[in-house]
Every structure is written in structure tokens, then in C-alpha cells.
Amino acid sequence: MFDVVVVGAGPGGSSTAEYAAKAGLDVLFIDSRKEIGWPVQCGEFMPKTEEIERLFENVDEPGELFDVPARVVSKPTSVIRMVSPDGREYDINFSGYSTERRDFDKYLAERAVKAGAELMTDTKFMKFDGRNRVVTTRGTFDAKIVVGADGPFSAVRRSIGLPAPRLLYPAMSTTMNGEFGDTVYMYFGSVAPAGYAWIIPKAGGANVGLGADPALTKREVGFYAKEFIKQTGMKFNTKPRQMIAGGWVPMAGPLSKTVDGNVLLVGDAAGHVMATNGGGICTAMICGRIAGRTIGDHLNGRAPLEKYELEWRRAIGRDLETAKRMVRYASFTFSNDWMLSLLFRFAGRKGLSKVIKCKSIFSLRDWT
């Protein structure tokens, strides 16, 4: 009998496993992948710790989670250039870095193993046999608590009958060789309807890709991605280094219920993604730490498991809801490049900076 079985060893699952192990629990975390972090289905962009502090003011000790070693940083970046459909550029000061996600996810899993958690790769969650028995492709494990950190299509979430996120964007990316400076580019408009296309500089290249609302795209998102990659290649005189890889991003904000009996949901499985930029690595890590600690408190008789939901909402809930609201307000412009360009001009550099950082352009508090 394990205290906790965590399904998924992405950023959410590994962070949960790390902090549950640090609380002294017997932890097993499993992943269906043979190699953690591979294949990469990501833009690989992370805010630096000081930006995460500004994004989510209520997160305790961000440095403990996010001060990562240089070996998982590919290239630091200092500016996000938002390009409106009419070609105007709005530069936002934002300290971030690209990572090698393949190494980054392994590093997080190593942290959990170092803390005492047991990792099993090539092990897929199949179903529950009663809420305390986890059936996998490599055997059945008994667990007091089960965590679903198994991504947007979470089999754990499905197995307990909780509803899926309402809106999933398909997103695709590849890596290009070449020199791309230290500015992150985000292109908006019909290039990626209701989403954006990105160029994220990496050491010796860039991660290039896009995500879009499937309800507004006239063709498969792969078509838009290939067109954009072609243009990027022409602009920067470079070629793709790696095959294009895709995935899905939950864009409708967090689920209303993330704890059910002895099961918790973390990261993409719970919709913990910033709707204004599609970033979900740091939010999965924040919620993973809260999940691990809360499970520790719970099994030591100090807190109900529901505290997890209260705690992640206290830490990032308001910001995720604000981001969701901002996207909803702007949605009337998403199929009209002219209107979206006008909205960019109205918001200006400062307003866009707020929105991208999950703040409201209408709240005085967020302007101070």
C-alpha cells in the first residue's frame, strides 16, 4: 500500500511526488512514456522566478520551486514582442527563458526521486478497481490517495466521472536552427485564430509553433503551423531541426472541482493553464507542490483533502480566472484582424502587458 500514487510525471506530477515524498510519505509516480519529457510537445518557455512572483503574488517561496540549474536553461530572454495582425509591434519587458523540455521534465522527476519517491516509466494507468486500487499496464497498486496529473485528457479524471475542460486548443511546434536573438515573438490574428503563433529563441535555434481555437480555424491547425513555420524560415533563413509535434492545451480555465473523495487533479488535468498565454508548466508545478503538501497534512491528520482546492485557488485561482475573463472580453475580435488590431491599439503596450500577465485592464488594483 502506497500513501500516494501519482499518475503522470510531467511538471505537475513530479512536483506533487516531490513534495509528498518530502512530507515523509510513500510515493509512487508513474508515466506511460518510456522516456520522461520525450517527445516534446511544448513551446518550452518559462518565466523567470521574479516574473512568476509578479504573475502570482500569492505563491509562497517561488524560488524554492523555480530556481532551476543552468543545465536546463536553453536561452534567457528579456522581451516578449506581441505583433498585432496589422504588423504593429508591442514590446513587453518580461524575463524568461527557453528550456530543453526533455531535460527539464527529467530534472523535475529526478528532484522527486531524490526526495524519496519511486518512479515507474512505461507504466500506463488503465482504471480504478475501487478508489484505492490503481490498475496499470505493469500491475495493480494500492494507494490511500491518487493524483491525476496525466494531462488534458486525464484518464484518472475520466475514471471518476469528473467533466473534461470545455475548450482544448490544438497546438504544434518544431525546432528551427539559426540565430533568433533574445526576443520572444507572439503573432496574433488569422495566422492563429484566437490563439497565437510563437518564436521562442533557444541556444542555436528557436522553438516555433502555434495554437488556435479549433472552432475558428478553417483547416487543420497543422496547416496553419506549417504555413507559419515556412514564413519563419524565410524571415530568418533557417530550416526545421526537428519533426513537428503537437498536443492540446486546456484554455477554458480551471475545472470547478479538482478533489473528489481520495482523488486530486493537478496541472492540465485540472485546467491549470493561463488562458491569455497558454502557459501551464509553472502553474502545474505550483499546484503540484500544494497537492503534495496537502496530502502530507491530510495523511498526518492535520487537514481535509479539500484544502488542496482552497489552497491552489488562493495561490493562483484569481489570476487564472482573470485571464479567462480577459480572453472572453476580447473574443468578439478573434475572427476579424482589423478589430483585433484596433483592440491592440486601444490596450497599448501597458494594457497588453497586463493581459499577458493574467491581470485585468479594467481593474484599478492591477494598474498600481
First to last CA, the chain: 51
Q: Which helix (H) or strand (E) holds 77?
A: strand 73-83
At its nearest, how many Å lie between ligand FAD and the CB of residue 364? 29
Residue 100 lies near ligand FAD (rule: CB under 6 A): no
Beta carbon nearer to ligand FAD, 231 or 336: 231
At its nearest, how many Å lie between ligand FAD and the CB of residue 83? 17
Round to whole Å and give the CA distance between 358 and 285: 17
At its nearest, how many Å lie between ligand FAD and the CB of residue 155? 4
Beta carbon nearer to ligand FAD, 11 or 296: 11
DSSP 287-309: HHHHHHHHHHHHHTTSS-TTHHH
At 265, the amino acid letter reads: L
Round to whole Å and give the CA distance between 43 and 210: 9
Beta carbon nearer to ligand FAD, 189 or 279: 279
Which one of residues 23, 143, 284, 323 is an interface residue with ligand FAD (CB under 6 A)?
284
At 309, the amino acid letter reads: E
In the shown chain, the binding pattern of residues 135 to 154 toward ligand FAD, with x for contact by CB under 6 A and - for none, equals --------------xxx---
Residue 12 lies near ligand FAD (rule: CB under 6 A): yes
Residue 18 lies near ligand FAD (rule: CB under 6 A): no
- Total residues interacting with ligand FAD, rule: CB under 6 A: 38
Output the CA angle 26-62-7, nearest 5 degrees: 35
Residue 11 lies near ligand FAD (rule: CB under 6 A): yes
Stretch that binds ligand FAD, among 35-43, 82-90, 159-167, 342-350 (CB under 6 A): 35-43
Residue 10 lies near ligand FAD (rule: CB under 6 A): yes
Binders of ligand FAD among residues 203 to 262 (CB under 6 A) are 209, 247-249
Which one of residues 18, 213, 268, 319 is an interface residue with ligand FAD (CB under 6 A)?
268
Nearest to 235 by CA among 208, 256, 210: 208
For 213, residues 6+ apart whose C-beta sits below 8 A from its C-beta are 167, 169, 193, 194, 195, 251, 334
Round to whole Å and give the CA distance between 296 and 339: 50
Residue 42 lies near ligand FAD (rule: CB under 6 A): yes
Contact (CB, 8 A) for 358 and 323: yes
Which one of residues 173, 258, 294, 341 is an interface residue with ligand FAD (CB under 6 A)?
173
**CA 246 vs CA 208, 232, 269: distances in Å:** 12, 18, 17
At its nearest, how many Å lie between ligand FAD and the CB of residue 240? 15
For 194, residues 6+ apart whose C-beta sits below 8 A from its C-beta are 169, 212, 213, 215, 216, 331, 334, 335
Q: Which helix (H) or strand (E) holds 142?
A: strand 139-148
At its nearest, how many Å lie between ligand FAD and the CB of residue 249? 5
Stretch that binds ligand FAD, among 64-72, 174-182, 265-273, 316-324 (CB under 6 A): 265-273
Binders of ligand FAD among residues 194 to 213 (CB under 6 A) are 209
Residues making contact with ligand FAD (CB under 6 A): 7-13, 30-33, 41-45, 124-125, 149-151, 155, 171-173, 209, 247-249, 267-269, 273, 278-281, 284
